[in-house]
């Protein structure tokens, strides 16, 4: 009895492994997928969108290299780096504003009600 080789099952690289996953909807889904998922799909020979995943992996690697090069020239990027002092000061300001605008009016209202109650 001879057995014929069985072709591997082709699947679409979707989160639900849907049988019908159009390229347009996959292109919208792909940027939101994690790096690990895209890399897994790019290395899987059974994935129908393998070429698209390889392009996405190369795009992400290039974007990461560009970001690293930019951070080498400007290590304290003001859009991403917040100093510990700034975080501390902002926390203290927020705490004091909360006390001024929430706690003090409530305490004042309670004291007013106590003193005016007969």
**Among 30, 80, 37, which residue's Cα sits nearest to residue 59?**
30
Q: What is the pTM of this model?
A: 0.47
The end-to-end CA distance of the chain, in Å, is 102
List the chain domain ranges. Answer: 1-81, 83-118
Joined tokens for residue 5: 């080789």
Q: Which residue has the higher pLDDT, 88 or 75?
A: 88
d(CA 78, CA 83): 10
43-80 pLDDT, tens digit each: 887 777 788 888 889 999 999 999 888 878 877 766 66
Statement: residue 16 has pLDDT above 60: no
């Amino acid at each position: 009895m001879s057995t014929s080789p069985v072709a591997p099952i082709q699947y679409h690289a979707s989160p639900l492994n849907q049988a019908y996953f159009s390229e347009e909807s996959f292109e919208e889904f792909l940027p939101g997928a994690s790096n690990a998922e895209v890399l897994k799909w790019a290395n899987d020979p059974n994935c129908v969108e393998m070429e698209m995943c390889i392009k996405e992996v190369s795009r992400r690697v290039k974007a990461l290299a560009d970001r690293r090069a930019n951070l080498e020239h400007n290590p304290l990027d003001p859009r991403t780096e917040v100093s510990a002092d700034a975080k501390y000061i902002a926390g203290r300001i927020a705490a004091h504003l909360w006390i001024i605008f929430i706690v003090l009016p409530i305490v004042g209202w309670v004291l007013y009600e106590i003193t005016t109650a007969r």
